[in-house]
Chains A and B, each alone.
Chain A
Amino acid sequence: MSVTSDRLLFKGADWDFDTLRRIHDACEEIAVGELGLSMYPTRIEVISAEQMLDAYAANGMPVLYRHWSFGKRFARHETLYRKGFQGLAYEIVINSSPCLCYVMEENTATMQALVIAHAAFGHNHFFRNNHLFLEWTDAHGILDYLEFARSYIMRAEDKYGEAAVERVLDAAHALSSHGVFRVPRRRVPDLASEEKRERERRQHEERIYDDLWRTIPGPKNAPAAKAEEARRRALLQLPQENLLYFLEKTAPRLRPWQREILRIVRHVEQYFYPQRQTKVMNEGCATWVHHRIMTRLHEQGRLTDGHYLEFLHSHTNVVFQPTFDDPRYGGINPYALGFAMMEDIARIATAPDAEDREWFPDIAGRGDAEAALREAWANHRDDSFIAQYLSPRLMRKLRMFHLVDDQSEEELQVGAIHDERGYRRLRRALARQYDVGRLDPDIQVDDVDLTGDRRLILRHRVLDRQMLEPEEARQVLQHLADLWGYGVLLREVDAATGAVLREHHASARPGIVE
């Protein structure tokens, strides 16, 4: 292929800021013009290895409050990195507006093109369009909020002492996995809409009023007591799965600044919640986008063959999926699965076979692969995405099988394989594997004895006999009791039978509440 050198974005491995700008503009042309992506404005930040380690420690956030656990994470990554056990990521991207893309100074020009296509366009489009991110995160406000959180906690440390703040943060961090709302909350209605609804209900009642109903016999008095109980539970918003929220609003003895800290931890955790649910999709989207953009750049003669081969080398490493019996196997690689599914959807949309037409009548042969993908990216999270789009062909290609490991049985059993009988079960099982509702133990505040000893009662709905790790549960419960200020009881209840399998107790230590 003859390449005219003036079309080339860069030569060799070196780059400067002009190169980055040229790369970005060339990528943008393809991303917006051909793929139809829409992004937040981008800010590319060039950082050093040291700063990448800093970013690791803070979950990639540019500012974060101070806590020893971040120092611990830093120490671990630093050690692994310095000893050569672990390379560093080529980039980190942050869901904010403007979208921050950190790129490493060590990257070659080809790598910079790859990471810009990957992060500044792939991830950025996903953040901007996926409904989970739109529902749960505020890309415009997050950086300001983190700034506020940092200074608030610093002021609290000045005022109440580092130790006191650290205790609250420790406790809040222990509960952070259960400090998120999993379903959108009902917004508290305002007065106007409340009045409107009240009026409509009255009209409705007047319309259907029939005196005959009064004459129907029913249980007496019982409803009154029940209603009272229901009212109490409604006021406390029970049952409540967001433990941090419950403590923030209800814990009787916390001081205002302590509630604010719980709120900060809860907000930060909620911000990351969509990312946990969209690993496969997010990485799949970004990987597919960078592959597409780089291939187009090469076709346009803006990358040399050598650069394209360098790119393919990195790309292949990223989407490598070892089989289960390979010593390198460490679970299903989200990049590999995501990329394979995106490729598959594009193929089904443009060149389907009979099987695809049967399985995916909606998208098979519709022609516009990018539109089909954009729809998928906008409306799904990992489990629903897999349940919807994993094709039999891909299951065959990856040679997937379903393994059932029942502790009470002697041996493991193969539940389904990639054959006609197994496709649907296999797909369902894989989707369940990504369902955060199943991954996190389901623990809720069940009740609280406000008139008696104020004991907080939690319930763990035990699925598939998977109990909590008792020692760790005890430690977390201790933190919970410290925040609550009174005793706490956690019941592990079998979801199917309702039998209580185990109980954990904790009583409050002094320290957080006086």
Chain B
Amino acid sequence: MQIVDRRLNPGGKSLANRQRFLRRAKDMVREAVRDSAGERSLKDMERGGEVTIPASGVKEPHFRRAAGGLREHVLPGNKEYLEGDTIPRPRGGAGGGGSEGSPDGEGEDAFRFALTQEEFLDLFLEDLELPELAKKRVVEGDASGVKRAGFATQGSPANLALGRTMRNAMSRRLALRRPKPHELEELEEALRQAEETDPAEAEALRGRLALLRARSTRIPYIDPIDVRYRQFEPAPKPIARAVMFCLMDVSGSMTEGMKDLAKRFYLLLHLFLKRRYKHVDVVFIRHTHEAKEVDEETFFRSPETGGTVVSTAFEEMLKVMEARYSPADWNIYVAQASDGDNTSADNDRTAHLLTDRVLPACQYFAYLEVGREDDGGPIGFMPRETELWRTYGKLRAAEPRMAMRKVRHRKDIYPVFRDLFRKGAVEGAKS
């Protein structure tokens, strides 16, 4: 009898099969992931989770009998039946029908299983891309990798540099003139011949042989001083990093619902940036008639009153950018959410700031106009265009890096997001 501890074996034995399964069901899983995205809260989204796909797509068919015909069952637990009794047919299939159930749950309409966070996000954000990605690459100190750093005399056996060690040993043997095995053999051979013919010569040879043998034991084949190990040292790796500016109008006209929409959009964007860049900073700037950089909680929660001057937000943003995020070092993304109000006098200034200073510095500028859910307007009337929409609309034609969308309902967020970052969307706009 043997006892083997398998717990230490590397895990993930089923990983390859699991990936094959996901690839096989990819279209359906993708669909399911996107459907479920509408329902989940965005926090959940980061966690991965369960999806349900139609079983038909991953069915493994076999020859099976359908229900019907003559069937017999032997059942335990008779209480009152006598031979010849009749029993009304129970609804939903054959009576008792224990033999019908299939062990692996095949035959159900839906197949349900859990995705890891990685798998979920991969599918969720698949075929989206960031415009102007990786234009800038900078050295970031704390990102570590290892690089080779020559050889050392100490190290772990796993890092033993065999070739180098043998080379050292060989040169040492050559330098100290360690006798070679074939030299010894030749000498022995000569000695054997001399012993028969010439005793004096034999004596000399014997002495020489003893000398060489002694030297060969004194000078080892491999000596500890020959041993070398490959050495590695941590090295900073260049990585791309990004900063995301969230600009939001928090004046009285923005309702909680609108803020919620904006929040969802920001979270999606954040999630997306995090997948593409190792390092993502987020800066929250809220504005009424004046703008301020705040933390996340304040940004979404605390109410504020005042007028609406959009240009203040840009000014604040430029200030932060100058202080901390030089455009030369950072990939800059700006997402602005607003209900579209602006003080009329500020429109020109806003447009100038945007075209002259903000857009040249950033990778991408997305403007999200949030509306009330019931704000469809009477049927047959075009909804009034807002101040900002009109202002930005004029700039947009000349600016491929700028995108704008309107959102009224939660369920629109994801489609709008996908639409903005669809592969080729930006190039299409450019050309």
Residues in chain A within 8 A of chain B (CB atoms): 17, 20-21, 24-25, 28, 41-48, 50-51, 53-54, 57-58, 66-76, 78-79, 82, 98, 102, 105, 120, 162, 166, 170, 173-174, 176-178, 321-326, 329-332, 398-407, 410-419, 421-422, 426, 429-430, 432-433, 440-441, 443, 460, 462, 464-470, 472-473, 475-476, 479
Asked if residues B70 and A465 are in contact (CB atoms below 8 Å), the reply is yes
Asked if residues A105 and B50 are in contact (CB atoms below 8 Å), the reply is no
State in angstroms the CA–CA spacing of A174 and B106 once bound together.
Answer: 13
The chain B residue sitting closest to A47, CB to CB, is: B6
Contacts of B71 in A (CB 8 A): 404-407, 464, 466
Contacts of A42 in B (CB 8 A): 1-2
Asked if residues A174 and B82 are in contact (CB atoms below 8 Å), the reply is no
Q: A24-B1, A410-B89, A472-B61 are in contact. Are A72 and B21 (CB under 8 A)?
A: yes
In the assembled complex, the CB of B7 is this many whole angstroms from the nearest CB of chain A, namely 5
State in angstroms the CA–CA spacing of A44 and B24 once bound together.
Answer: 36
Stretch with Cβ within 8 A of A (4 or more), from B91-99, B267-275, B395-403: B91-99
Contacts of B351 in A (CB 8 A): none
State in angstroms the CA–CA spacing of A120 and B3 once bound together.
Answer: 12
Asked if residues A44 and B70 are in contact (CB atoms below 8 Å), the reply is no
The chain B residue sitting closest to A419, CB to CB, is: B83
Q: A45-B4, A66-B16 are in contact. Are A415 and B113 (CB under 8 A)?
A: no
What are 5 A-B interface contacts by the 8 Å CB criterion?
Answer: A54-B14, A75-B18, A411-B88, A441-B63, A469-B65
State in angstroms the CA–CA spacing of A66 and B24 once bound together.
Answer: 13
Interface residue count on the B side (C-beta < 8 Å): 65
Contacts of B13 in A (CB 8 A): 51, 54
In the assembled complex, the CB of A499 is this many whole angstroms from the nearest CB of chain B, namely 14
Contacts of B105 in A (CB 8 A): 76
Asked if residues B72 and A403 are in contact (CB atoms below 8 Å), the reply is yes
In the assembled complex, the CB of A88 is this many whole angstroms from the nearest CB of chain B, namely 14
Asked if residues A72 and B3 are in contact (CB atoms below 8 Å), the reply is no
Asked if residues B6 and A400 are in contact (CB atoms below 8 Å), the reply is no
In the assembled complex, the CB of A27 is this many whole angstroms from the nearest CB of chain B, namely 10
Asked if residues B20 and A68 are in contact (CB atoms below 8 Å), the reply is yes
Asked if residues B64 and A468 are in contact (CB atoms below 8 Å), the reply is yes
Contacts of A66 in B (CB 8 A): 16-17, 20
Asked if residues A69 and B4 are in contact (CB atoms below 8 Å), the reply is no
State in angstroms the CA–CA spacing of A74 and B113 once bound together.
Answer: 9
Known: A42-B2, A403-B72. 9 other contacts (CB 8 A): A43-B1, A43-B3, A71-B20, A177-B63, A331-B99, A404-B72, A405-B70, A412-B86, A429-B72
The chain A residue sitting closest to B74, CB to CB, is: A430
State in angstroms the CA–CA spacing of A443 and B20 once bound together.
Answer: 31
Q: Does B111 contact A (CB under 8 A)?
A: yes
Interface of A is mostly: mixed
In the assembled complex, the CB of A9 is this many whole angstroms from the nearest CB of chain B, namely 15
Contacts of B88 in A (CB 8 A): 411-412
Contacts of B77 in A (CB 8 A): 322-326, 398-399
State in angstroms the CA–CA spacing of A53 and B18 once bound together.
Answer: 12
Q: Does B297 contact A (CB under 8 A)?
A: no
Task: Choose among B59, B70, B79 the residue with the greatest number of A CB atoms under 10 Å from its CB.
Answer: B70
The chain A residue sitting closest to B77, CB to CB, is: A323
State in angstroms the CA–CA spacing of A432 and B83 once bound together.
Answer: 19
Q: Does B76 contact A (CB under 8 A)?
A: yes
State in angstroms the CA–CA spacing of A178 and B86 once bound together.
Answer: 37
In the assembled complex, the CB of B99 is this many whole angstroms from the nearest CB of chain A, namely 6
In the assembled complex, the CB of A394 is this many whole angstroms from the nearest CB of chain B, namely 10
In the assembled complex, the CB of B185 is this many whole angstroms from the nearest CB of chain A, namely 45
User: Quick one: which of B70, B82, B113 contacts A407, CB cutoff 8 A?
Assistant: B70
In the assembled complex, the CB of A171 is this many whole angstroms from the nearest CB of chain B, namely 10
Closest 8 CB pairs of A and B: A323-B77, A331-B98, A71-B21, A71-B17, A465-B69, A75-B113, A466-B69, A324-B75
